[in-house]
Amino acid sequence: QQPVQSPQAVILREGEDAVINCSSSKALYSVHWYRQKHGEAPVFLMILLKGGEQKGHEKISASFNEKKQQSSLYLTASQLSYSGTYFCGTEIPQGAQKLVFGQGTRLTINP
Amino acid sequence: DAGITQSPRHKVTETGTPVTLRCHQTENHRYMYWYRQDPGHGLRLIHYSYGVKDTDKGEVSDGYSVSRSKTEDFLLTLESATSSQTSVYFCAISEFGAEQYFGPGTRLTVT
């Protein structure tokens, strides 16, 4: 079952912070985050494994709450280059080696 | 960048005709995936492969078949194209079923 992302879209000014959430109705074993710029292929950002792990990538970090079956992506001091659509992907069931992606969150950063 | 190519990059075809899309990798990765991307639906898995001649269905496999006779090539076939199969198709590869690297995509229009 497809994870649910929120918000569906967000518009920020450069330098502002954003949070993108990914929730699942099923138990999560890992969460993947990808970013896709318009007209391009999705690009891998990071993987989080169960255990409440946090990871960072530049000024982008993420958390994974296994009990709440959700993950959040944090973008701090956003840059124009952060614009794009962000997707979370969940591995269900564990070890399936395949992902179910959320519907995406469109992030627009304005100068 | 991971060596993944897709061909053709653009195709227009008529309803009822067969269509084959090709994904080629030079990374020798074990896992290969076919996704379709439509507005509001994110990325949906069609089929995937976990080795030569080893394939399995994804979320939206009806109307599609795949074949993998060599590690580097993963073919997606629409036996009889329909207008509902108009979409952007992405191929992805993964070494251990972890982070996925996406190809540039194929835009298919069925008239």
- The stretch A90-95 carries a mean pLDDT of 74
Q: Where on the phi/psi map is residue A69: left (φ > 0), alpha (ψ -120 to 50), or beta?
A: left
Residue of B nearest to A40 (CA): B104
Asked if residue A91 has pLDDT above 90, the reply is no
Cα–chain center distance at A97: 18
CB contact under 8 A, A44 and B101: yes
The predicted pLDDT at position B62 comes to 96
The mean of the pLDDT values for chain A is 89
Asked if residue A50 has pLDDT above 80, the reply is no
Find, among A30, A27, A81, A29, the residue nearest to A57 by Cα: A81
Give the CATH number for residue A56. 2.60.40.10
Q: Each residue's pLDDT tens digit in chain B (111 positions)? A: 569 999 999 999 999 999 999 999 999 999 999 999 998 888 999 999 999 999 999 999 999 999 999 999 999 999 999 999 999 999 999 987 678 999 999 999 999
Residue from A20, A38, A98, A100 to probe the interface with B (highest B Cβ count within 10 Å): A98
Q: Which residue has the higher pLDDT, A44 or A95?
A: A44
Q: How many residues in chain A? A: 111
Contacts of B98 in chain A (CB under 8 A): 47
Asked if residue A57 has pLDDT above 70, the reply is no
Residues 6+ apart with CB under 8 A from B77: B18, B19, B20, B21, B64, B65, B66, B67
Q: What's the structural domain count of chain A?
A: 1
Residue of A nearest to B32 (CA): A98
Contacts of A89 in chain B (CB under 8 A): 43, 100
Shortest CA gap B40–chain A (Å) = 6
Interface residue B105 vs chain A (CB under 8 A): yes
The predicted pLDDT at position A53 comes to 62
Interface residue A103 vs chain B (CB under 8 A): yes
Question: A50 and A26 in contact (C-beta within 8 Å)?
Answer: no
Domain, as residue range, for A62: 4-110
**What's the token pair of residue A109?**
């950063």
Per-residue pLDDT of A76-87, as tens digits, reads: 999 999 999 999
Q: Which residue has the higher pLDDT, A27 or A18?
A: A18
* Domains defined along chain B, listed by start: 4-110 (2.60.40.10)
**What's the token pair of residue A34?**
């990808």
**What's the token pair of residue A48?**
């989080």
The predicted pLDDT at position A97 comes to 80
Asked if residue A64 has pLDDT above 70, the reply is yes
The predicted pLDDT at position A26 comes to 85
Find, among B101, B111, B109, the residue nearest to B23 by Cα: B101
- The stretch A9-20 carries a mean pLDDT of 96
CB contact under 8 A, B42 and A2: yes
Per-residue pLDDT of A100-110, as tens digits, reads: 999 999 999 99
